[in-house]
Amino acid sequence: MADRPELSDPRSLYPQPPFPSQEQPAPGIVARLDPPADHGETSYQGAGKLRGQRALITGGDSGIGRAAAIAYAREGADVAISFLESEAEDAAEVADLIRAEGRKAVLLPGDITDENWCRKLVDRAVQDLGGLDILVINAARQQFRTDLTQLSTDDFDRTMKTNLYALHWIAQAAVSHMPAGSAIITTASVQAYDPSAILLDYATTKAGIVAYSKALAQQMIERGIRVNVVAPGPVWTVLQPSGGQPTRKVRNFGQNSAFGRPGQPVELAPVYVLLASPEASFITGEVYGVTGGAGIA
């Protein structure tokens, strides 16, 4: 048939390892990834599923958060993103992409390990967007340590505060501003179910995110707010070469997935759109795995 869409083998849609050797200081810069990641800059096509909504996304400058921000703008939402000051260059690119869709972009640089800042960023997002309908708590710290003795108290504390404490502080500050019909989406990981030996603290926080989000979902449905979790597998982001994985693992990142490659951030964007949209009106307390075949059981 003439109108039949052309299908593509998902295994060969994106680059496969081995990748070039590369290292970046944390938290990493998107433009230095080799090969480049696809966050949907030119590939994501919107359909107005979030028209008129207002979203706050933590870690919206790069990786999965960047892909969600681009997708939300192309679905008709105004978007606020939080990020570290050192990530301002990446954040500015995202803001330009949001504004190119005729949507409002709000930039909120700051450190989410600071409780006061977490509460301020919510207040500023609500003020600048005129309200809040979608909250995506996505920013994360991942720094590998090959041995338990190398995982310092400071390491453990910073990972816990970035990945778990900030989730609590931001959600606590946000829910009073969110009307019935709103959505909260958190980002866990396959690491919550199949932890790597070198990611003790990271995997612990991701398991905590699953438990926290499921408990929060039970509270929030009493307000008409849905809460769901996305659990990615290996995804090609700046998190990996900026200390998230050893160099040798970055070279072969994703090769053990069923696809023989890592996922791209844009491949997760439709899940974040679904869970934020009215189409997910009967979905709460769920964990959506996008793991490249690994599952989340």
Query: pTM higher than 0.85, yes or no?
Result: yes
Answer for the pair 111, 82: CB distance below 8 angstroms, yes or no. no
Q: Could you report the per-residue pLDDT of 40-81, keeping only the tens digit for each?
A: 999 999 999 999 999 999 999 999 999 999 999 999 999 999
Q: Could you report the per-residue pLDDT of 115-124, keeping only the tens digit for each?
A: 999 999 999 9
Q: Give the pLDDT confidence score for residue 1 in this predicted structure.
A: 53
Answer for the pair 29, 91: CB distance below 8 angstroms, yes or no. no
Instruction: For residue 272, indicate whether it is catalytic.
Output: no
Of 202, 212, 272, 288, which residue is the catalytic one?
A: 202
CATH of domain 50-289: 3.40.50.720
Q: Give the pLDDT confidence score for residue 32 in this predicted structure.
A: 94
- Residues (pLDDT < 50) of the chain are none
Q: Give the pLDDT confidence score for residue 5 in this predicted structure.
A: 84
Domain ranges of the chain: 50-289
